[in-house]
Chain A
Amino acid sequence: GENVEQHPSTLSVQEGDSAVIKCTYSDSASNYFPWYKQELGKGPQLIIDIRSNVGEKKDQRIAVTLNKTAKHFSLHITETQPEDSAVYFCAASTPGGFKTIFGAGTRLFVKA
């Protein structure tokens, strides 16, 4: 079946450094790729998303890139801050969008 692979599972960076999380999806019909941030004891929250007709999208310190040919998409966080520490999930969904497949998550630690 469809799946989304996410790497790394854990990432530790120094405050101010950049963090990159990578995902690969299997369903070529996927056309919408959201990224969620989950803080301890809370539900996931959408932080940025990208559609298949766009190669890159940026929102302040976070950016997402998509390579549809290779079925890869990545999250980039620049100038990381301690409050960026959380679990990040990538996801992929197909047209209609209500069946979303999530990656296994990346636990990001930002050391002050």
Chain B
Amino acid sequence: NAGVTQTPKFQVLKTGQSMTLQCAQDMNHEYMSWYRQDPGMGLRLIHYSVGAGITDQGEVPNGYNVSRSTTEDFPLRLLSAAPSQTSVYFCASSYSRLAGGRSKNIQYFGAGTRLSVL
């Protein structure tokens, strides 16, 4: 298993440009999420999906779109990039495991995409 694969690893955009960050997982996980990581702020949830065809907003969804047409892929789109979107983006896939009657969500992260918007 390759796990969670993110492409590209690095990207530089000009303000107003659009692009798509790709994320693919081969673990047949139901859940997938996108986070951004900024210095001193940890990881903040942008959007997430609980299955193909279902997406929802996280903490910081503005300026980003997602879709989930297959279980494997969860692309993140920036329609008009802004300098405030300069960050490191992580995709995660997860499954919910029941143990002792209680569930927990174990997340597996990709290696990240470092995005700079000039």
Q: Is the interface of A mostly helix, strand, loop or mixed?
A: loop
* Number of residues on chain B facing chain A (CB within 8 A): 31
Asked if residues A99 and B45 are in contact (CB atoms below 8 Å), the reply is yes
Contacts of A46 in B (CB 8 A): 106-108
- B31, B35, B42, B58 — most chain A CB neighbours (10 Å): B42
| A4 (CB) vs chain B CBs: closest residue | B42
Tell me how far the C-beta of B51 lies from the nearest C-beta in chain A, rounded to whole angstroms. Answer: 10
Contact across chains for B111 and A41 when beta carbons are under 8 A apart: yes
Given contacts A98-B48, A99-B48, contact A43 B109 (CB under 8 A): yes
Cβ B100 vs Cβ A98 within 8 A: no
Bound-state Cα–Cα, A15 to B100, Å:
37
How many residues on chain A are close to B (CB under 8 Å)? 31
| Contact digits for B87-105, partner A, Cβ 8 Å, 1 yes 0 no | 0001010101001101111
Closest to B41 in A: A104
How far is A99 from B92 in the complex, measured between Cα atoms in Å?
12
The reply to whether A51 and B42 form a contact with Cβ atoms under 8 Å apart is no
Q: Which residues of A, 53-112, contact B by the 8 Å Cβ criterion? A: 53, 89, 93, 95-105
B78 within 8 A of A: no
Contacts of B109 in A (CB 8 A): 36, 43-45
Cα-based distance from A41 to B4 in the complex (angstroms): 15
Distance (Å) between the CB of A20 and the closest chain B CB? 19
**Inter-subunit contact A49/B4 (CB<8 Å):** no
- Ranked 9 nearest A-B pairs via Cβ: A97-B105, A43-B109, A102-B42, A102-B43, A104-B42, A32-B104, A98-B31, A44-B109, A43-B111
Q: Point out residues on A near B: beta carbons under 8 Å.
A: 1, 4, 6, 9, 31-32, 34, 36, 41-46, 49, 51-53, 89, 93, 95-105
